[in-house]
Amino acid sequence: MEQFVAVASAHFLALLIPGADFVLIARTALASGRRLAVAVACGVAFANAVIIAIAFSGLALLANDTLLAIIQVLGGGFLLVVGVAFLRSGAAVDLESGVAAARGGAPRHFALGVASGLLNPKNVLFYVSLGALLPAASALVLTGYGAWMFTVVLVWDIIVAVALGSPQALARFSRILPLLSRLSGAVLVVIGGFMAIEAIIRLVSGA
């Protein structure tokens, strides 16, 4: 029980620290409403589930430094692309158009969330580290941990999406959305740039 509390607490505290996934969900919620933001949140949670399954299955693949560096380069490039798109987005929120976009945009935003989660090296490193803390755990126990972590990620991300994507929040932030979009874009560009540069340096120095 003590081990579960320790692992669950570490996981939740890490989840509370805003990162690229949080920025993506928050910006989508404020720009397009809760439905598309929930789609992104579900995609991020699904990506976490995939990483958890691989990390907890005992595969050493994710612990490979070269592979992690490659994932980091790809993730950095992905964040740069999304960040630039946010920087170029200056349109004010239109609640009606946001609803219309939500009808056909959920699958695409789900895929965006999956890509963001899978290409986030922090997710990989964190779950591999947690998996290393449970070397003697049975398959059933690891499945329980994985299910718990997936559920916590899903619920937390949906709470963020629903809270920031409510009509009240959209109306409140609609006037400053262009600024928020550019700020979100700048944050993602900085994070993505540092991620990519750091990984490239590691790859070159390790070659």
Q: Are 32 and 16 in contact (CB under 8 A)?
A: no
Residue 100, pLDDT score: 42
Q: What mean pLDDT do residues 12-41 have? A: 84
* Residue 96: other Cβ atoms inside 10 A: 7
Residue 190, pLDDT score: 86
Number of domains comprising the chain: 1
Q: What mean pLDDT do residues 119-125 have? A: 78
123 three-state secondary structure: helix
Residue 133, pLDDT score: 64
- 173: containing domain: 2-206
Residue 44 has pLDDT above 90, yes or no: yes
- Across the chain, mean pLDDT equals 78
Phi, psi of 166 (to 5 degrees): -70, 155
Q: Are 65 and 103 in contact (CB under 8 A)?
A: no
Place of tokens 């059933």: 140
Output 144 or 14, whichever has higher pLDDT: 144
**Structure tokens of 140?**
């059933």
Is the full-model pTM beyond 0.75? no
Residue 184 has pLDDT above 90, yes or no: no
Residue 89, pLDDT score: 66
Residue 97, pLDDT score: 44
The Cα 49–Cα 33 span in angstroms is 25
